């Protein structure tokens, strides 16, 4: 089945630790996105990538890093510089970066601080 797979479903981070959230899609989509969702809030864009080896910062990129070495993969690293990382993280993809294309989402990763 085609879709977006995020792993792990739950992740715990210790102080000073970097953690990486995985996002893989087999939809052959060019564009991929990372969002952060806090309780009672809408989604906020962290990073997006229109094409392999290219990515751009969203509204809240500080403390996060990404890579896009393969079309199907867009991992997000939450670094120790991100002081408030506890949140629900959603990865999305779309056929292209054009505004008309709807974004399709994975099941999310819930990150908590130990």
Partner 1 sequence: AQKVTQAQTEISVVEKEDVTLDCVYETRDTTYYLFWYKQPPSGELVFLIRRNSFDEQNEISGRYSWNFQKSTSSFNFTITASQVVDSAVYFCALRQSGAGSYQLTFGKGTKLSVIP
Q: Which residues bind partner 1 (CB under 8 A)?
A: 31, 33, 40-45, 48, 50, 56, 58-59, 88, 90, 92, 97, 99-100, 102-108, 110
Cα dihedral: 85, 87, 89, 90 (round 10): -150
Residue 60 and residue 68: Cα distance in Å, rounded? Answer: 18
Cβ of residue 79: shortest distance to partner 1, in angstroms?
Answer: 23
Taking the complex as a whole, how short is the minimal distance between the CB of residue 97 and partner 1, in angstroms?
Answer: 6
For residue 101, the tally of other CB atoms under 10 A from its CB is 14
**CB 48 → partner 1: shortest distance, Å?**
5
Using CA atoms, how far residue 87 sits from 29, 84, 108, 111, in Å, is 26, 8, 10, 6
Q: Given the complex with partner 1, which of 67 and 80 has the nearer CB atom?
A: 67
70 vs 107 by CB, closer to partner 1: 107
Of 37 and 80, the one with the shorter C-beta distance to partner 1 is 37
Alpha helix (H) ranges present in the chain?
none
What is d(CA 16, CA 114) in angstroms, rounded to the nearest whole number? 11
Residue 15 or 99 having the CB closest to partner 1: 99
């Amino acid at each position: 089945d085609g879709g977006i797979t995020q792993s792990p479903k739950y992740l715990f981070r210790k102080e000073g630790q970097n953690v990486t959230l995985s996002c893989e899609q087999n939809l052959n989509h060019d564009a991929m996105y990372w969002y952060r969702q806090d309780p009672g809030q809408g989604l906020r864009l962290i990073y997006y990538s229109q094409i392999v080896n290219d990515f751009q910062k969203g509204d809240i990129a500080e403390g996060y890093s990404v890579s896009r070495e393969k079309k199907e993969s867009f991992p997000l690293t939450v670094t120790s510089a991100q002081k408030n990382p506890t949140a629900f993280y959603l990865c999305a993809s779309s056929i292209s970066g054009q505004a008309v294309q709807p974004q399709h989402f994975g099941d999310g990763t819930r990150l908590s601080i130990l």
